Structure 1
Amino acid sequence: MSPVLSVRDLSVRFDLRGGRHIAAVSDASFDLAAGECLALVGESGCGKSVLASALLGLLPGNARTAGTAVIDGIDLLSADERTLARTVRGRRVGLVPQSPAAHLTPVRTVRAHLEETLRELTGTPRSGLRAAAEAAAGRASFPAGLLDHYPHELSGGQAQRAATALALVGDAPLLLADEPTTGLDRDLVDRTADELRRHADGGRALLLITHDLTAAERIADRVAVMYAGRIVEVAPADRFFGTPGPRHPYARGLLAALPERDFTPIPGMPPELGALPDGCAFAPRCDRATDACGTPPRLEDGVACHHSEEPARA
């Protein structure tokens, strides 16, 4: 069976003044199957949200893309705005945005947002819109009593749930959820994650972009780890979170930093994407780094590391 989404060598570069540029995403490749959840994880600024924006044609004018990202025969990177607006966004690809308040029209209520989306994507008749909007809100645990509120009257978590409800309306074959649990308490995190999982279990694909490794462990089938714009490891979720665990030193560091694990932060800071070091970008923070790390590692057998098979140093 063909994947719902097939990404090959996706790269995003932002051109700056003076001939400088930032390599925000470099050579990302992965497939996403129907019924599957892939969690894309990594520290802030590693390129996760840029990748999602590239898939929907939502990058700024100074962005330059390369590679391919194909869904239902459409290359999302080369498609024109008309195609993206009329046949991709909402219909083939749904989005739970990282900043939901920026995606909600300030002069319209949540109910109005949902009813318009239901009319456009599902053809719900006017007589059934009120009930359908309330049902759509319930899928994302959005309180029915707040449906007639405007975006500025919502908390951050409430706006997040409203955006999730909107993204689920069309039952798109692919859902991009960019930090969908931001601002939610643990109970709502679990409920939101479970609803996203149900979306995938219905035969659709889910790309979950998140800092919340607990949510990723709860619902993901596979995990892809990004660092400095590159995917450095892709692994089944049960192996990644269980035994034998991640193979890349950075991925192991992400797990070790969790409070329920070692609660030990990764030393140092991520590099600036406009000034990446030669070779492996993680080498300056890595206790395994050797001269071999002066050469950029390729993603082979699910990991991009020259020392992935060596036992961890004491």
Structure 2
Amino acid sequence: MRGGRHIAAVTSASFDLAPGECLVLVGESGCGKSVLASALLGLLPGNAQTAGTARVGGIELLGADERTLARQVRGRLIGLVPQSPAAHLTPVRTVGAQLEETLRALTDTPRRELRTAAVAAAERAAFPVSHLDRHPHELSGGLAQRAATALALIGDAPLLLADEPTTGLDRDLVDRTADELRRHTDDGRALLMITHDLAAAERIADRIAVMYAGRIVELADATSFFGTPGPRHPYARGLLAALPERDFTAIPGMPPELGDLPDGCAFAARCDRATDLCGTRPALTAQVACHHPVMSATEQESAHA
């Protein structure tokens, strides 16, 4: 709720995520990606309301109380790499102390082995061991991001939520972080990654979910999304076309305000395929929410047969 009115930040988001699978959620800023992650962990503001069902490890997350979330979910069933790591690191404790505390809480590491285990956790996330005795305010944004990633990987939770985990990192560290998250997934755990970095998404994703104006508008296999036939939703195709290594062509216009969404397709005002039919809201059918999805060559042949 904002200013006395209800704003639907995320609507009708539906997907599953299997062990050993990486689903990457992409979309422009403000489309609801981080709100979705926060809802799963019970980290929304007190005036937020949720409805629906989200299950991990037999626990219904959206209806769970704070005690259940704190003791059974966060860190144990779901690990979080936060979008703003500095806000999640304890300012008065060193990174090494926080790693050791998390190891004590989530693992059976003997006290005498905590420092060695903390070093291993830091190295796993490419955090320099020489900085373990520093406090969060002594870290750059990129180092804080790597510290948060190290903390999130401790405990090997069956689901990892990584919200912009490569923010502030150079390309080499982006690739290294993405590869470590992929290894975490390949060991039989699930990963939901939120990112603007489509190169990182292409590197590790099994599936891509594209969000626009609070809704998932396309779910696609990553290989076909980044290759052939490519995305089916015009917005998703626009995201790829905006990349420097592709057309480097921006999507015209701006996303609508979530408090002032049109009755029909929220992307219609920016879409060159829009018709009068787009005045009605499209449902997510065949993994795409669009009245005029881009058809593959095979679909075009079938349509003209």
Q: TM-score range by the shorter chain?
A: over 0.9
Percent sequence identity is: 81
Matched, 1:202 2:187: yes
Equivalent position to 1:57, from 31, 42, 46? 42
- Supply the distance in 2 between the matched residues of 1:289 and 1:310 (Cα, whole angstroms): 15
* Structure 2 contact 232–288 (Cα < 8 Å) conserved: yes
Structure 2 residue matching 1:176: 3-state secondary structure: strand
Q: Work out whether 1:250 is the aligned partner of 2:235.
A: yes
**Alpha carbons of structure 1 residues 311 and 121: separation in structure 2 relative to 1, 3 Å:** closer
Residue of 122, 144, 149 corresponding to 1:137: 122
Matches within 5 A, 1:105-254: 105-254=90-239
How many angstroms does 1:21 deviate by? 1.6
Q: Is 1:87 the equivalent of 2:72?
A: yes
In 1, the alpha carbon distance for the partners of 2:189 and 2:157 equals: 7
Q: Would you identify which runs of 4 or more consecutive aligned residues in structure 1 move more than 3 Å?
A: 309-312
Shift of 1:123: 2.3
Query: Which ranges of structure 1 fall in alignment gaps of 5 or more residues?
Result: 1-14
How far is the alpha carbon of 1:78 from its aligned partner?
0.2
Structure 2: gaps of 5 or more residues: 298-305
Is 1:301 matched up with 2:263?
no
- The secondary structure found in structure 2 opposite 1:44 is coil
How far the C-alpha of 1:263 sits from its partner, in A, is: 0.2
Cα deviation for residue 17 of structure 1 reads 3.1
TM-score normalised over the length of structure 1? 0.93
Pair 1:265 & 2:257 matched: no
Counterpart of 2:303 in structure 1 is none
Amino acid at match of 2:2: L
| 1:22 aligned residue | 7
Q: 2:26 & 2:60 partners in 1: Cα distance?
A: 24
- CA displacement 1:186-216 (0-9 Å, x = unmatched): 0000000000000000000000100000000
* Superposed displacement of residue 311, structure 1: 8.1
Deviation at 1:72, TM superposition (A): 1.4
CA distance in 1, matches of 2:3, 2:211: 27
Query: How many residues in Structure 1 have an aligned counterpart in Structure 2?
Result: 297
**1:53 alignment partner AA:** S
**Paired residues of 2:229 and 2:296 also in contact (CA < 8 A):** no
Q: Spell out, residue by residue over 1:50-79, the C-alpha distance to the aligned partner (whole angstroms, 9 max, x if none).
A: 000000000001101011000111110000
Query: What does residue 301 of structure 2 align with?
Result: none
Match of 2:23 in 1: 38
Partner SS, residue 21 of structure 1: coil
1:274 aligns to 2:271 (yes or no):
no
Q: Does 1:69 align with 2:54?
A: yes
Q: After TM superposition, list the pairs within 5 Å mapping 1:2-13 onto structure 2.
A: none
How far is 1:177 from its partner?
0.2
CA distance in 2, matches of 1:240, 1:157: 29
Q: Distance in 1 between matches of 2:229 and 2:204?
A: 19
Q: What is the one-letter code of the residue matched to 1:31?
A: D
Distance 1:272 1:123 in 2: 48
Aligned-CA RMSD value: 1.0
Contact 2:21-2:185 at 8 Å conserved across structures: yes
> Deviation string for 1:208-245 (max 9, x for gaps)?
10000000000000000000000000000000000000
Displacement of 1:277: 1.1
Measure how far apart 1:309 and its partner are.
4.2
Match of 2:293, as an amino acid?
S
Amino acid at match of 2:149: T
Larger % of strand: which? 1
1:98 to 2:98 alignment = no
Q: Give secondary structure in 1 for the equivalent of 2:269.
A: helix
Report how far residue 124 of structure 1 moved. 1.1
1:187 is aligned with what amino acid?
D
Deviation at 1:157, TM superposition (A): 0.1
